[in-house]
Amino acid sequence: MSQGITTRDRQARFSAYTAFAVQGLCFASLVTQVPQMQKAHRLSDATLSLVLLMVPLVAGVGSVVSGALFQRFGSGVVLRVSQPAVAVTIALIGLTGDNDIALYVAVAAFGLFVGAVDASMNAQAVAVERRYGVSLITGFYAVWSVAGILGGLWASLANRIDLPLFACFAIAAAAGIAASLATGHRLYSRDEEGGGPTAAELKAAGRSVPWRPILIVGAAMAVAYLADSAISNYGAKYLDDELSGADWIAPLGYVAYQVAMVISRAVADLAVRRSGPVRVVRLGGAVGVIGMFGVVAAPNAAFAIAAFAVAGLGLAVIAPVCFSAAGRVDPTGLGVAVARVNIFNYVGFVLGAAIVGAIAPLSEDNGLRIAFILPAALILVVFATARGFDPTPVKGARPDAPAMKRPVA
């Protein structure tokens, strides 16, 4: 670990962990209730696909806007404002009843703030990693996954006891708001993230962030999130509709997926430090492909839940190492490259929602099974881009950008 780590750095690290936890809890509480939302609003599969597609489309806008705001206010301020707003919009979604227009508005607001949170919390995580000087990013995602497990288990329990959607969402939202407000003021400020450069220097630095390494890791990010989108948005529905799982069983596929992600991310930082990001990403891609094709072949809900877990083991490492690679080619220290890479998160989520939503209706009995084939096959893109996960820092990059192969001292 780098020398000179202060109490202030530890506070910022804990606050960033909390931000990832709140996001994981809120997101899981919502996506695992997709079948219940569809039933409450009596949405057709086609309409549901449009609702799910709206989230990443609007979130992409939120991510882009937040990237611009980072340079003026810093990612910490953006995160402190947008994260409680995400929790509020989840509760509002539960209040929409059978009013479809209100649902669309609430979902759009959710997407906008989710985009801002995703970009800003990753920028904070990269700032912490820069300060510590070793790979830490997958640990933040492990926290996200642990909270996602809790969110999925909460959804399963809520369905088992027939709790109304609003109550399910509101309880999760309240916990998220409380945690965010309690720790948000400890996030890094703009000056702490990037040393407080002038507006002119920021503008020049933003132009200096290279696009080529971002496009390489962004392609891997997109296919990973395409598969993640299929699992997150349609995993519960797949278990519910095509594999005859009960209402309380349907959220457990996502829970298994996140449990596996926690296991993978708990050891991924150490693996990256010892073996380098390229080997770790290639192994993750191979395991992810196996898991996704297991989902396609699943004869029953139990097999599918196990396959979701295998997919999670592999896919877990790709996004965190993408963000870490982006941090090494960003001379601003303010998350400009992170915000750009985060756009590919939403490219993948858009493609996932669009592809699965378009293919699923083609077969009444096996539509989702067939729709999972393309996300499974596209994970092979990870192998073609793996070398891009260990970029050479650009000229002018901060000297404390994490050297991903450096062992812990």
pLDDT over threshold 80, residue 206:
no
| Largest Cα span, the chain | 61
Q: Using the structure block, give the residue that is written with the tokens 């699992």.
A: 231
Q: How confident is the model at residue 204 (pLDDT cuts 50, 70, 90)?
A: low
Q: Which residues contact 340 (CB under 8 A, 6 or more apart)?
A: 67, 209, 211, 214, 218, 326
As a whole number of angstroms, the distance between CA 33 and CA 50 comes to 16
- Specify the higher pLDDT residue, 337 or 118: 118
Q: What is the pLDDT of residues 105-152, one digit of tens each?
A: 999 999 999 999 988 998 898 888 888 887 787 788 889 889 999 999
pLDDT mean across residues, the chain: 84
Q: Which of 28, 31, 111 is nearest to 66 (CA)?
A: 111
Region 235-252 average pLDDT:
83
pLDDT over threshold 80, residue 395:
no
* Beta carbons of 273 and 404 less than 8 angstroms apart: yes
pLDDT over threshold 70, residue 174:
yes
* Beta carbons of 49 and 357 less than 8 angstroms apart: yes
Residue 4 is given by DSSP the state T
For residue 261, which phi and psi values (nearest 5 degrees)?
Answer: -65, -40
Q: What is the pLDDT of residue 203?
A: 61
Return the minimum-mean-pLDDT range out of 243-257, 358-372, 390-404.
390-404
pLDDT over threshold 90, residue 354:
no
* Beta carbons of 378 and 226 less than 8 angstroms apart: yes
pLDDT over threshold 90, residue 401:
no
Q: What is the pLDDT of residue 202?
A: 53
Q: What is the pLDDT of residues 1-41, one digit of tens each?
A: 445 788 899 999 999 999 999 999 999 999 889 888 888 88
Q: What is the pLDDT of residue 110?
A: 95
The rounded percent of the chain whose pLDDT value lies above 90 is: 39
Q: What is the pLDDT of residue 251?
A: 86
What is the three-state SS of 63-82?
HHHHHHHHHHHCHHHHHHHH
Instruction: Fill in the amino acid letter for 160.
Output: R
Q: What is the pLDDT of residue 403?
A: 38
Region 161-188 average pLDDT:
94
Q: Is 158 exposed, middle or buried (0-12, 13-18, 19+ CB in 10 A)?
A: buried
Q: What is the pLDDT of residue 332?
A: 67
Number of alpha helices (DSSP H) and beta strands (DSSP E) in the chain = 18, 0
Q: Which residues contact 279 (CB under 8 A, 6 or more apart)?
A: 271
As a whole number of angstroms, the distance between CA 35 and CA 19 comes to 27
* Beta carbons of 16 and 186 less than 8 angstroms apart: no
Angle formed at CA 262 by CA 257 and CA 268, multiple of 5 degrees = 120
Q: Is 409 exposed, middle or buried (0-12, 13-18, 19+ CB in 10 A)?
A: exposed
Q: What is the pLDDT of residue 400?
A: 42
Structural domains of the chain sorted by starting position, each given as residue range(s) with its CATH number in brackets? 7-190+202-389 (1.20.1250.20)
Q: What is the pLDDT of residues 265-284, one digit of tens each?
A: 888 878 888 888 899 999 99
As a whole number of angstroms, the distance between CA 315 and CA 254 comes to 13
pLDDT over threshold 60, residue 237:
yes
Q: What is the pLDDT of residue 334?
A: 60
